[in-house]
A and B are shown apart, each in its own frame.
Chain A
Amino acid sequence: MKVLITSIFYREWLKTRLVFTISMIVVVSVMLYIFLDFAHYVRSSELSAVIRNAIINNSQPFQVFKFVPTLLGLTYAICQFSPEMVDRRFRLTLHLPYKEHYIMAALLFYGTLSLLAFFFVAMLCSLLLLLFFPWALLCHIALAVYPWLICGFTTYALVVALIIEPYWVRKFCFLPILLTFAVVFLLDAEPYAFAKAGWFFIYAVIVAYVTPFYNMIRFKNGQAK
């Protein structure tokens, strides 16, 4: 298993290193922009008024970051699996001397780990806001961002499922499912409006990560419909 994961990771890294680097630059740039914009806002008004605004009106300094996880998931899924399907290499990958489920899991694990790396760097960059906010308030604001991060993971997994689906009509049928989940996570709402929907997030992530396995089996069996 260790050999499988190492070799799959190395192969995927060679394929996606440019996209990974560019995505990391984009994430850091967005977070730096958020910090600079917020610093300008604090210089324009008083810090106490800004903090009161954040507490009373739930003003969200990370609003610019809203669609970044979704776009990262979408881009990474396309960059990781489109070459496999276009060059018809995916079937060869599934013929490696391991169970197909383990191979698919390793591929998905690589993509998920890359997304986790992006979000971890974004979280580190958000610590710059400790110059303005107390730690408790920053946690309160940052935790309101987690539906967007979940959306990134589900988008990644569902786009993977969409790409490896062999039947073209079914590809379009998966789009409404993808859009339904994306709309739910990206709804305009107050921070913590999703506080009671934790079970739904877990369910959505499980559904998203099970779907590629179903499509992989159909692809392996050569099912056209």
Chain B
Amino acid sequence: MRISKSYYYFLLFAIGFCISLSLPFLVQVATYTPPKYPLVLYSSQLHDMVRLDYSDRDFPMTDSKGNKYTPYETDSLLPLLNFRQLVADNRLPDSINHVPVNARTIANYQLSFRLSPTRIHKPVPMAYPIFESMPRRVGNIVTDHVFLLDDEVTVYDVSKNILDYEATQLFRAELEHRDFSYPAKWVVGNTNPRKKYDEGYFVLDNDGKLFQMKLVNDRPFIRNTHLQTPSGWHSFHPYEPNLHNFYGILVSNDGKMARFNIDDNGVYYLQWLDVPNIDPDVDVVKVIGNFMYWNVTVSKPEGEYTYALSAWFLNHIASDFIPVQLSVWDYIGHWIFPFVIRLKHNHTEFIEPRIMDLNPNAIWFNIILVGFYIYRKRRYGSPVRWYALASVLIFGIGAFLAMSFLPKNDVY
């Protein structure tokens, strides 16, 4: 009984795929070490970028000139970071750079948040909980309503498991009044009920207009922010600081970041971060801020860039760069595997096979495999077929092992 050639080639491809998926993963698990970067901050005392690495307990801090500092000196040179230690030691100064400070003021302005591509490229929630932005009782922001926003807005009462027609009609009327264009491109907000206050959700409609949507005194509050950028908005990363002094970071399609807030007249405004454009689908941005400076760290494949910006005007003050430290995988992986198939990736929560890390250097290893393949065929007197050699040359070790596992003499 003949085995159809189509069976053979189909299985050959499938086994080659499985090997290309699993073998690089196993080798990477054995050889990869993720890069470790020290914390880079701007010192208000030294007026310089400093690196903190607490694995060195004697001299954790190093400045840009290479001077090292003990933990005691570090506390004084980074008072806005280590203010609690200074308070415990009774060493907190009355003013920093001629600005009067106390522990409460410093604590109120502390912030730390992260902009990650995985927060954008992830499954969209089915529904969003509605919080009360002006609760009658302090802290009681949680309501029993959730809303769905697809081709229309729909509000459900989850305590009774029914559609709330009245609330739905209110929201629809308000969205229509504000000239909202369905369907929404994205809806972003803090869905965690354990927060001090609620600023609702920010919604990008189909025409690229950004709206703020929340519930105020049981009535929908929907307002067009009128914030535009030539390339359009890519994403929004919400942050709800203690002082209500901004909503979060907007990222445009060309990679510019802006902090946005509302003034006393109810007009939304932007403050652009004075940093180079990022790739919002790849780069991870971390912000560690205080009432004087924002330390913005952008993690790229080649290393980490840290920028010190003024906290008020977000203008550039200083910067630092730490190149990536290569691991054993980085040295050997691109010589062995012409490509790698990955299921998970750092940039997205979605799982699907992706061909990544195309490595032309692996052609040399593939040539060795071709030589070994020819030697085996000659030794057992089997014919050497050109398409087998081509597939080993192009697809590498996956094709070689697949053809070893499914020898051609099965087909006759």
A176 & B159 in contact (Cβ 8 Å cutoff): no
B344 & A55 in contact (Cβ 8 Å cutoff): no
> Is residue B18 contacting chain A, with contact meaning CB distance below 8 A?
yes
CA distance A213 to B410 in the complex (A): 13
Query: Which residues of chain B are near A137, meaning CB under 8 Å?
Result: 126-127
> Is residue A87 contacting chain B, with contact meaning CB distance below 8 A?
no
Query: Which residues of chain B are near A100, meaning CB under 8 Å?
Result: 1
| CB proximity to A under 8 Å, residues B4-33 | 7-8, 10-11, 14-15, 18-19, 21-22
Nearest CB of chain B from residue A28's CB, rounded to whole Å: 25
A52 & B129 in contact (Cβ 8 Å cutoff): yes
Query: Which residues of chain A are near B158, meaning CB under 8 Å?
Result: 47-48, 51-52, 134
A189 & B7 in contact (Cβ 8 Å cutoff): no
Q: Which single member of A55, A134, A192, A223 contacts B123 (CB below 8 Å)?
A: A192
> Is residue A195 contacting chain B, with contact meaning CB distance below 8 A?
yes
> Is residue A64 contacting chain B, with contact meaning CB distance below 8 A?
no
| CB proximity to B under 8 Å, residues A74-104 | 100
B351 & A218 in contact (Cβ 8 Å cutoff): no
Query: Which residues of chain A are near B55, meaning CB under 8 Å?
Result: none
> Is residue B343 contacting chain A, with contact meaning CB distance below 8 A?
yes
Q: How many chain-A residues does the 8 Å CB contact rule pick out?
A: 43
> Is residue A214 contacting chain B, with contact meaning CB distance below 8 A?
yes
Nearest CB of chain A from residue B201's CB, rounded to whole Å: 13
| CB proximity to B under 8 Å, residues A168-199 | 170, 173, 176-177, 180-181, 184, 187, 189-197
Query: Which residues of chain A are near B22, meaning CB under 8 Å?
Result: 176, 180
Q: How large is the interface on B (under 10, 10 to 19, 20 to 34, 35 or more residues)?
A: 35 or more
B129 & A55 in contact (Cβ 8 Å cutoff): yes
| Contact A196 B11, CB 8 Å, known A137-B126, A220-B1 | no
> Is residue A207 contacting chain B, with contact meaning CB distance below 8 A?
yes
| Contact A197 B1, CB 8 Å, known A140-B126, A207-B14 | no
Q: Which single member of B2, B144, B350 contacts A193 (CB below 8 Å)?
A: B350
CA distance A46 to B161 in the complex (A): 12
Query: Which residues of chain A are near B353, meaning CB under 8 Å?
Result: 197, 200
4 closest A-B pairs by beta carbon, nearest first, are A192-B123, A197-B352, A51-B158, A207-B14
A-B contact pairs, 23 of them (CB 8 A): A47-B158, A47-B159, A47-B161, A51-B158, A51-B161, A52-B142, A52-B146, A52-B193, A55-B125, A137-B127, A173-B405, A180-B21, A181-B18, A187-B343, A191-B123, A193-B123, A196-B351, A200-B352, A207-B14, A214-B7, A217-B1, A218-B3, A223-B410
